[in-house]
Structure 1
Amino acid sequence: METARLKQLGLEVRDEGKGLEATLVLAEPLDNPTGHWKVERVIFRVEGERLVPSGPAEVVGLRPITLGAVKEAREVEAEVVAAFNEHLFHVQRRSAELVALGLDARVAPESLVLSTQVSEQGLTLTLVADRQGHFQVASAVRDGQPLPLPQARTFELSEFRERGALVGYLAALFGEQGRAVAAQAAGEGLIGFSEVVRAFGEGALVPPRSGLELLVLLEVEGKPYRFAAARVAGRTFRGLLAGAQGKVWAERFELDDFPGVVPLVADLLKVPTGAVKLIGAPQEAG
C-alpha cells in the first residue's frame, strides 16, 4: 500500500531492508552555486508520513515533505525546490552576518553547509548552520584538547551585533569566562561596574548603538554559575545562565522587565533567593 502510494507520486521506490527509500528525478535540476554542477535526483527516507531528504549532500537536512500535502511528482519537486532556495537564502544572509562580525564564512562545495571558526584565548569553536540558518557549536577545542559539547541547542546569529558579544556568549557555554576571571585576578583588565559608576557617575549614558556585555559570577548551593548578558539593540539584551554542565537558560529580555540576576537565577533553579550568592569582581591592589 505504502509502496503503491509512493509510486503514484512518481517516485522510484526500493526497500533494502532498512526501510523504504524513494527517489525523485527532477524535471528541472537544482544548481549547486559553489560546485557549479547540477542535482538531478533527490533521495528520500520514508519515515511514516514524511519524505526526509537523505541524498545527495546538497539536500540532506532540508525540511521533510508531508505525504498528505502532495499528490504528484511536480508537487514533491516544488517542495524540494522551495526548501533548497530557502537554504541558499539563509547561506547568503548568514554569510554576510559572519563577515560583519569579522568571521570567515565557509561554504562546503558538496554539501553547501555554512560554517565558521571562532578562536579566543586558547578556545577554538567550530560553528555550523543548519538548513534553516540556525547555528550551533559542532566542535570545541581548548589548548589542543577536545571539549564535551553542551546539549545541542541552536542560536540566532543576528542577535549578536558585535563579535565580542558572540564570543562572550559562546565562552560562557564552556566556562571560559570563569577562567578569565581567575586569570585576571591580578588586575589584567577586568572592571567592576561599581568602578565604572564611581569614575563616571550614575548620570553616564550608554549610547544607543554601542555594545555592552555583562558578566556575573554566582554560587548556588556550592555550585558555580555564570550569568552573561549582551546588548542586542536599544534596551533589548540576550541573556545566558550556564553552570558546570553547560547552558541552563538563554533568552532575550527587555531591560525594563528584567527582575534582577539573583531573582532570575533563584526562579530558574527553584531555590530561595538567599541560596544565590554573588561572587564579587576582584579588587585592585592597594
Structure 2
Amino acid sequence: MDTARLKQLGLEVRDGGRGLTALLSLTEPLDNPAGHRKVERVDFRVEGERLVPVAPPEVVGLRPIALGAVREARDVEAEVADAFNEHLFHVQRRSAELQALGLSARVDPHSLVLSTEVSEHGLTLTLVADRQGHFRVSSAVRDGQSLPLPQAHTFELSEFRERSALVGYLAALFGEQGQQPARQAAGEGLIGFSEIVRAFGHEALVPPRSGLELLVLLEVEGKPYRFAGARVAGRTFRGLLAGAQGKVWAERFELDDFPGVVPLVASLLKVPAEAVKLVGAGPPQE
C-alpha cells in the first residue's frame, strides 16, 4: 500500500515492523453509551486495500473499510461512524430478543460486546454476538468440563421464538460422546412421534403459529449423530446435524423440499442410505 495514499486520506501512518498501521483522529467522537466515554481516535491495520479497525476496543471487529470507497478523511470517518452505529443497533435489537427469551443481556462497557449465558441440564454455554449481530458459542462447559467448540459457527437469534428451541438447538451442537440410545433417554421426557400419531391420529394438525421441534438420533458407521429440526414459520424449518465433534450441517429448508433425515444424512456424510441407522425409543425401524 502506498503510504502517500493513506496520508492523503488524513491518516497518520506508522510502520511497526509487523505491517502498516494508520491512525485517524475523529472530528466527531463516537459515543460509548455503556462505558460513558468518547472514542476520539481509531487505529487501523492496513491489509492490502482495506483498513481494519484494531483499536480502541469499541471498534474492534467493525467491518473493514475498502480504500477504493473513500477519497478523504471525512469519508473514512463516515464509514467508521456508520459501522459503529450499526453495531449499537444490533446490540439494542439482540438485547431485546435475549430478554424475550428469558436470558440476561450483558454488554461489556469497554468493548460493547454483547453476551449471555445459557445453562440447562449440566450444560453451560456463553454466547457472544459479533458486530453484525450474529451469535456464536464462545465457551461450553458440561459438568465442570470444557468442551471443544464448533469452528466458525454462527446463528441467527431471531429464528428462536422460545427459549426451549434455542436450548435444544445448542444442545444438539454439543451432543455427548457415545450418546445413550433414545429408549434409555425416554424416561427423561422424550416422546416418539409414533406415540403422538397413535394418540392423536394422522389427521391431527399443527396450528400455523405454533412451535414444533424434533430430535432424531442416528448412528453412522459406529459414530453417533443428532438431527435437530425446529419450525421457523409456516412450512419453513431450521435444521442442524451434529456429531461428536460438533456441527456438520445447519441450514433452513422448506418442508415440501426436505428429502428426509436418512437421505439428507447419507448425502452429507457421503455414505449409502443403508449405513444410516435410526436410534429410536421404540422397536427398531426397518
1:120 paired residue number = 120
**Percent identity between the aligned chains?**
85
* Contact 2:182–2:217, Cα closer than 8 Å, also in 1: no
Gaps of 5+ in 2: none
**Number of equivalences:** 283
- Name the aligned partner's letter for residue 145 of structure 2: Q
Identify if the C-alpha distance between structure 1 residues 43 and 106 changes in structure 2 by more than 3 Å, giving closer, same or farther. Answer: same
Alignment deviations for residues 194-249 of structure 1 (CA, whole Å, 9 cap, x no partner): 01111111111112222111011111122111111011111111100111111111
Cα offset, 1:90, TM superposition: 0.6
2:141 paired residue number = 141
Equivalent runs, 1:240-279 vs 2, <5 Å: 240-279=240-279
- Name the aligned partner's letter for residue 47 of structure 1: E
- Name the aligned partner's letter for residue 226 of structure 1: R
1:11 paired residue number = 11
Identify if the C-alpha distance between structure 1 residues 185 and 25 changes in structure 2 by more than 3 Å, giving closer, same or farther. Answer: closer
* Contact 2:7–2:13, Cα closer than 8 Å, also in 1: yes
Gaps of 5+ in 1: none
Structure 2 distance, partners of 1:70, 1:184, is 62
Cα offset, 1:13, TM superposition: 1.1
2:81 equivalent to 1:81: yes
1:236 paired residue number = 236
Alignment deviations for residues 69-114 of structure 1 (CA, whole Å, 9 cap, x no partner): 1111000000000000110111111111111111111110110000
2:164 paired residue number = 164
2:56 paired residue number = 56
1:25 paired residue number = 25
2:99 equivalent to 1:99: yes
Deviates more, 1:272-281 or 1:23-32: 272-281
When normalised by structure 2's length, the TM-score is 0.95
Structure 2 distance, partners of 1:282, 1:189, is 14
Identify if the C-alpha distance between structure 1 residues 263 and 70 changes in structure 2 by more than 3 Å, giving closer, same or farther. Answer: same
2:226 paired residue number = 226
Cα offset, 1:176, TM superposition: 4.7
* Contact 1:237–1:253, Cα closer than 8 Å, also in 2: yes
When normalised by structure 1's length, the TM-score is 0.95
Identify if the C-alpha distance between structure 1 residues 77 and 183 changes in structure 2 by more than 3 Å, giving closer, same or farther. Answer: farther
- Name the aligned partner's letter for residue 209 of structure 2: R
Identify if the C-alpha distance between structure 1 residues 176 and 235 changes in structure 2 by more than 3 Å, giving closer, same or farther. Answer: farther
Cα offset, 1:181, TM superposition: 5.7
